[in-house]
Amino acid sequence: MMHASNLAQPSLSAQRVTLRAGARTLLDAFTHTFYPGEIWCVAGPNGAGKTTLLSTLAGLRQPAAGHVELDGVGLADWHGQPLAQRRALMPQSAPDTFSASVLDVVMLNRFPHLTGWGWEREVDREAARAALDVLGLSDLAARDVLSLSGGERQRVALAAVLCQAAPLLLLDEPLAHLDLHHQIQCLEVLHEWTREAGRTVLFSCHDLNLARRFATHALLLDGEGAAYAGPVRDVLTPALTSRVFGYPLVLIREGDHEALIPAARSRHESLSVHDTPARG
């Protein structure tokens, strides 16, 4: 039954994926399938392999073992152009060496849709303008990318992957450098974007509370081989996050609002993290 639904429904599937960094095993035989309509937050401490996992899922690097399937076909068997029309990746940072207008930089992500001599058509220009508009960046369209602030640059990069029009988005720290207002704006845009059929988002993020509020699912990496995947409230729990981040966290509630916050100092001392039993 699982197999039949794999074929019927577009999905991204990690099959016993193992990731290593030097001698360390970041992720050990991870198997999971990501379905449309889901917004995944990939969380974990620094160096836990969030970036490595996202670029492996995007097909930019080979896992040490296992493989990744997209719509039932191994990533190695996808050709570059159809793959780029199917999934988009926003890396953590893109180097800007030369002047270029924001619109042109965003429009570069139309590359998989170009034909002939590779000149953009009006459709591509419209897609780029629409993506800027969705993120409220229309005023920046004519600006030089070299003149943007870190946060502006980050939102322009998000607009770029949106205008790629791929139903699977893999975003590496899309909220970095953004102030709270823009973090929420971006997450709301992604939430809205995912409502259309067949769309999935995976993003890595350090803000567990934003993740709990906007993601439907969470993937928590401990960087020592284990990964916890499931609905966001089942994964980003005080118990699991305390174990993974090596610092006790507590969940506080006020009305409908919840927040995971670091425990007060006295609690920390009584709740020794090092005694926590083996991972699940």
**Sites of contact with another protein (CB under 8 A):** 51, 55, 58, 60-61, 79-81, 83-84, 88-89, 91-101, 103-105, 108-109, 111-112, 114, 117-119, 125, 139, 142-144, 164
Q: How far is the CB of 212 from another protein (least distance, A)?
A: 28
Q: How far is the CB of 51 from another protein (least distance, A)?
A: 7
> In terms of CB distance, is 84 or 127 closer to another protein?
84
> In terms of CB distance, is 98 or 256 closer to another protein?
98
> In terms of CB distance, is 77 or 188 closer to another protein?
77
Q: How far is the CB of 195 from another protein (least distance, A)?
A: 24
β-pairing, 168-171 vs 87-90, is: parallel
Q: What are the tokens at 42?
A: 């990939």
> In terms of CB distance, is 14 or 226 closer to another protein?
14
Q: How far is the CB of 112 from another protein (least distance, A)?
A: 5
Q: How far is the CB of 237 from another protein (least distance, A)?
A: 31
> In terms of CB distance, is 78 or 193 closer to another protein?
78
